[in-house]
Amino acid sequence: MTSIITLEKVSHSFGNELVLSNVDLEIEQGKIYGLLGPSGSGKTTLVKTIIGALTPNSGKIYVENTKMPSLKKLNDIGYMAQADALYEELTAKENLDFFAKIYGMDRLNRKKRIDQVLNEVDLFESKEKVVENFSGGMKRRLSLAIALLHEPRILILDEPTVGIDPVLRNKVWDQFNEMKRKGITIIVTTHVMDEAEKCDQLGLLRDGRVLASGSPTELKDQTHTRTIEDAFLYYGGVNS
């Protein structure tokens, strides 16, 4: 097993509220890792510590053996935040061009990659449309396209399929699997149980603690349950 991301005893508080409590995690290269937990369990805070946007009060985080936070490492990570950070008054293509310039991509590469990612998220036909006229799902897909632009080896996606209809959601998951085949490591946060089933490995998070981790099958087998939801409830009960 090759771990690409390691967290050691990561804890963080906002004021008096302990949001992450002694989190240990190992994420393997080329896998889809799901962080599953209810609203407020600390998923977003955890992924922010991984990308280095937040330095936790204590603990260590390594991405490909580099201690985070590290500006250098950002080139290898694609991050899609929970709230879409898009320029509403610009078109989809203009948004992509803006971020491609920030990534320092040259003109030829920019044009090629922008067309590729627009196709990948099924927005090619809408590339000249102004983003303020996009639906919520279209905005999510554009955010995903931006995270993919610089061909990162690690993709960190905070609730990537919120507001995306079931048909397109399947398509987006097909893309995740395709990226995985190329060796890309993907971390997704979700509170949707059927999405959790599609991950290779899961970390079950509640109140800032990792209740359990393993593949969906392992978690169900260990708890003698048939669904991830029941496994989650089992671990929550046992550990509380």
Ligand X SMILES: Nc1ncnc2c1ncn2[C@@H]1O[C@H](COP(=O)(O)OP(=O)(O)OP(=O)(O)O)[C@@H](O)[C@H]1O
- Least distance from ligand X to the Cβ atom of residue 133, Å: 26
Among the listed residues 34, 42, 78, 203, the single contact to ligand X using CB under 6 A? 42
Among the listed residues 23, 27, 43, 219, the single contact to ligand X using CB under 6 A? 43
Give the C-alpha separation, 195 to 197, whole Å.
5
Which residues have a Cβ under 8 Å from the Cβ of 35 and sit 6 or more positions away?
Answer: 43, 46, 47, 187, 188, 189, 190, 202, 203, 205
Q: Which amino acid would we find at residue 55?
A: T
Site membership for ligand X, residue 3 (CB under 6 A):
no
Which residues inside 141-200 make contact with ligand X, applying CB under 6 A?
A: 191
Q: Given the complex with ligand X, which of 43 and 110 has the nearer CB atom?
A: 43
Give the C-alpha separation, 85 to 195, whole Å.
24
- HSE-up of 63 (CA within 13 Å, CB side)? 25
- Least distance from ligand X to the Cβ atom of residue 157, Å: 12
Site membership for ligand X, residue 39 (CB under 6 A):
yes
First to last CA, the chain: 31
- Nearest by Cα to 157 from 199, 190, 193, 113: 190
Site membership for ligand X, residue 14 (CB under 6 A):
yes
Site membership for ligand X, residue 140 (CB under 6 A):
no
Site membership for ligand X, residue 34 (CB under 6 A):
no
- Burial class of residue 82 (count of CB atoms within 10 Å of its CB; 0-12, 13-18, 19+): middle
Query: For tokens 């999510």, what's the residue?
Result: 140
- Least distance from ligand X to the Cβ atom of residue 107, Å: 37
Among the listed residues 4, 5, 10, 19, the single contact to ligand X using CB under 6 A? 19
- Least distance from ligand X to the Cβ atom of residue 19, Å: 4
Among the listed residues 82, 91, 175, 227, the single contact to ligand X using CB under 6 A? 82
Q: Kindly list the residues in this chain that would bind ligand X in the complex (CB under 6 A).
A: 14, 19, 37, 39-45, 82, 191
